[in-house]
Structure 1
Amino acid sequence: MQIFQGFLDALKGLWESSGFMQLTWQNYAMIVIACVLLYLAIKKQYEPLLLLPIAFGMLLVNLYPDIMGAPHINLVEIASMDDPAAKGHVIREIGGKIFYEDPTYGGLLYYLYQGVKLGIYPPLIFLGIGCMTDFGPLIANPKSFILGAAAQIGIFITFIGAIFLGFTPAQSGAIGIIGGADGPTAIYVTSKLAPELLGPIAVAAYSYMALVPIIQPPIMKLLTTKKERAVVMDQLRPVSKLEKIIFPIIVVIICAIVLPSAAPLIGMLMLGNLFKESGVVERISKTAQNELMNIITIFLGVTVGATATGTVFLTPKTLGIIALGLLAFCMGTACGLLFGKLMYKFTGGKVNPLIGSAGVSAVPMAARVANKVGQQENPGNFLLMHAMGPNVAGVIGSAVAAGVLLSVL
């Protein structure tokens, strides 16, 4: 009988420690959302390198919340400082009583998340992006800077809107930066301005980056005509190696002097690009754009997804942030397109307005989407290289916008 009772007690303990007793309806809702995102990443291939680790991190933390648990210290009371149980522990005396510290350790993803929280991962991501980015289209067509800057207007429109909705200026700046469609920049700014919002803002920024093929095309077709989308642009001029080497040096000097707060992001981006274009550090360049970039992407994606616990994520405030982030991204896309239409008018129809949508910082997905939509109207229209100009300008523009927000706020 005693053995049977012990067996029942073991089953009871197993049941009480299982997810069926520990998880809430919010956790189950987030598990469903994570599975949907996994479907989009695997089946639809929407930025799988980002969306798959984010979705799996989301799934994991809602199944086992302690994987993001923070370490803490338990105080255990003892009779005297000579108590054998306290050997090797820090002993404290509080209110005439003696305790020893019994530390517990945090979950695996808690420690990996420190790279996000401390702003370490974003500059390293920018280093890898710089190694993979060709600034040639931007150098060949400097007017692309205008489109990259125009797409950042959505950041500041949303910033103002968030203030009117009751968010603090610092929180509003962190929410607005989602409009740049640049996950590393959004994480970097939020870690400085509003770390309490880091989870929902990071998830929103990376999710919208991954969902560019869904979000942008309807806006592009709404704001442009069939004739404008079918415009075939002239081939870009060749860019010399000297120009490509000088460009990152000049950009980092100007940006670091004018906006020192943007130097970590811009500096790493331009350092990576200089690795690539100099041609003398090929081994370092390959490491930064492959092994280092892949490792940081895994850590960043999984830990960002792991911030999306049901109890934190499914709240009116968090859902409001997600909605404002979507508005910021849509506004950035729209502003880039509208400036593209202005350039179409001023150049007598030589600029396809679709390349303006690539002014957001989702490299190279936004440029690919602009090219795809253009080819739907004219199969012989190849806009990819033209769209890469505003796209890489958007990377610089989002970092500059981040520097402005950090300097002001």
Structure 2
Amino acid sequence: MYALISSGGIDAVKTIIMIAIACVLLYLAIVKKFEPLLLLPIAFGMLLSNLPMIKDSSAIMMHTEFFTNPEYMTDGKYINVGYICQHGGLLDLLYLGVKLGIYPPLIFVGIGCMTDFGPLIANPKSILLGAAAQFGVFFTFVGALVLSALVPSINFGIKEAASIGIIGGADGPTAIYVTKSLAPALLPAIAVAAYSYMALIPVIQPPIMKLMTRKKDRMIVMEQLRPVSKTEKILFPIIVTIIVALIIPDAVSLVGCLMLGNLMKESGVVERLTKMAQNELMNIITLFLGVTVGATATASSFLSAQTIGIIVLGLIAFCFSTAGGLFLGDIMCWVTKGKVNPLIGSAGVSAVPMAARVSQTVGQKENPSNFLLMHAMGPNVAGVIGSAVAAGVFLAMFGNL
């Protein structure tokens, strides 16, 4: 209490606001069950880093200045790992996994172990829907630059715009991976926005789906997918990794780990490693990632006009990505003369399997005999690859600026 009073009027108000935001997010995670596995640790990390404490107290677990203030960095721009290990708190040490780009690829190993690329292999056209659903990423990239030019209090450069745009991929780890490299100061707001919109997919997508598709098209029952052989499933991750490495090397960290996890699953020869990646590894990394990213959301970095801009632009990115997939779904429905249900286009965003389930739910409301889940999983897993490729494009273009 003494620390809160001594911090001064405006700082005390900001602290109270951040604690209130953390409590609201905890409510959404616990009571409303909005993406609780991520939202709960993010919210509690936010709570921990905003608790009023006496400056220089040994109880402080997170020092954001170690990662953003040139005074604490090597050559004024590289994080000083040795200094952080010597003087940092618990969350500082865990946050190194984010700053060094360790956590997101490890999560992709776990995602790969839980992903079935069979629907995508059976229907290769699905990859077009996954690509179309990245439209919001690039649209918002341009929109962030335009907003920065129109609003003097918002200063988004090319790197910041790229980091905001990647929210449209609906992939939290990918958004974190890009942002920690291009715009680390925006990491708290982008992470919270990305995971919040992922959790709100069942709320955000259905109105867009109904707006962009016709009722009779939503009732279309698609033909059953062909069986996919084990050989195809084993060759797929190997071939995709080679192609991505040759075309977009900067995406290999994410795509390669995704395909490694999938190869472990499909090969059937490393069952122990597969179970570990699906459970223990995913759970541990998710906890570390959520708590540390939430801990970076301090009042000084989070309560700003930029944060409001990021949240608004993130919603625009997500909506336009959904619309991009649906638009191509409508075209494919027309070209195939009603053999493709356009609703599966909305699953082209990277949130697996949530987006595919929404396609199934909306389709079944229109036609109870409709089962779109497996058809929607094709563009859904294609969206995972698409968002990682989009991230690689941004890192290749702007990483060295």
On whether the aligned pair clears a TM of 0.5, the verdict is yes
- Paired residue type of 1:359: G
| 1:363 Cα offset (Å) | 0.9
Q: Which residue of 2 aligns with 1:243?
A: 232
Q: Report Cα offsets for 1:154-190 as digits up to 9, x if no partner.
A: 1111111112223211111111111101111111111
Tell me the distance in 2 between the aligned counterparts of 1:367 and 1:168.
Answer: 34
Q: Residue 152 of structure 1 contacts residue 398 of structure 1 at CA under 8 Å; is this kept in 2? A: yes
Please state how far the C-alpha of 1:61 moved relative to its aligned partner.
Answer: 2.2
Change beyond 3 A, Cα 1:20–1:368: farther
Partner residue in 1 for 2:49: 61
For residue 407 of structure 1, what is the amino acid of its counterpart?
A
Q: Distance in 2 between matches of 1:284 and 1:386?
A: 29
Instruction: Give how far 1:104 is off.
Output: 7.3
Residue in 2 that maps onto 1:325: 314
Correspondences of 1:298-313 after superposition (within 5 Å)? 298-313=287-302
Q: Residue 216 of structure 2: which of 200, 220, 227 is its match?
A: 227
Tell me whether 264-273 or 380-389 shows the greater mean CA deviation.
380-389
**Number of equivalent positions:** 365
Query: What is the rounded CA distance, in whole Å, between the counterparts of 2:95 and 2:170 in structure 1?
Result: 21
Larger CA deviation: 362-371 vs 41-50: 41-50
Q: Does 1:51 align with 2:39?
A: yes
Of residues 317, 322, 326, the one that matches 1:337 is 326
SS at match of 2:88: coil
8 Å CA contact retained: 2:218, 2:343: yes
In the alignment, which residue of structure 2 is the partner of 1:81? none
CA deviation vs aligned residue, 1:114-164 (integer Å, no higher than 9, x gap): 111111100000010000000001001111000000000111111111122
Supply the distance in 2 between the matched residues of 1:117 and 1:400 (Cα, whole angstroms).
Answer: 20
State which drifts further: 111-120 or 306-315. 306-315
Residue 358 (1) aligns with residue 347 (2)? yes
Which entry has the higher C-alpha Rg, 1 or 2? 1
Q: Is the aligned partner of 1:41 residue 2:26?
A: no
| Equivalent in 9, 19, 24 of residue 12 of structure 2 | 24
Q: Residues of 2 paired with 1:197 and 1:70: CA distance?
A: 12
Q: Which runs of 5+ in 2 are unaligned?
A: 54-59, 67-82, 149-155
Work out the CA distance in 2 between the residues paired with 1:300 and 1:47. Answer: 14
Q: Distance in 2 between matches of 1:366 and 1:171?
A: 27
Q: TM-score by structure 2 length?
A: 0.87
Which is worse superposed, 115-124 or 227-236?
A: 227-236
Q: Does residue 1:368 correspond to 2:354, yes or no?
A: no
The gaps in structure 1 that reach 5 residues or longer are 1-14, 73-100
Cα distance in 2 for residues equivalent to 1:377 and 1:346: 22
Cα distance in 1 between the residues matched to 2:174 and 2:257 = 12
CA contact (8 A) 1:131 1:273 kept: yes
Match runs of 1:88-99 below 5 Å: none
Instruction: Indicate conservation of the 8 Å contact 2:188/2:297, yes or no.
Output: yes
RMSD of aligned Cα (Å): 1.9
- Cα offset for 1:71? 8.4
Matched, 1:165 2:154: no
Comparing 155-164 with 276-285, greater Cα deviation is found at: 155-164
1:16 alignment partner AA: Y
Distance change in 2, residues 1:375/1:24 (3 Å): farther
CA contact (8 A) 2:15 2:52 kept: no
Distance 1:274 1:133 in 2: 10
Residue equivalent to 1:273:
262
- Structure 1 residue runs of 4+, over 3 Å off? 19-23
User: Cα–Cα, structure 1 residues 28 and 173, in superposed 2: closer, same or farther, change >3 Å?
Assistant: same
Correspondence 1:181-200 to 2 at 5 A: 181-200=170-189
Aligned position for 1:10 = none
Cα 1:71–1:310 shift into 2, 3 Å: closer
Q: How many angstroms does 1:403 deviate by?
A: 1.1
Show CA shifts across 1:290-321 (max 9, x none).
Answer: 10010000011111122222332120012111
Range with bigger deviation, 277-286 or 208-217: 208-217
Of 51-60 and 244-253, deviating more is 51-60
1:71 touches 1:105 (CA, 8 Å); kept in 2?
Answer: no
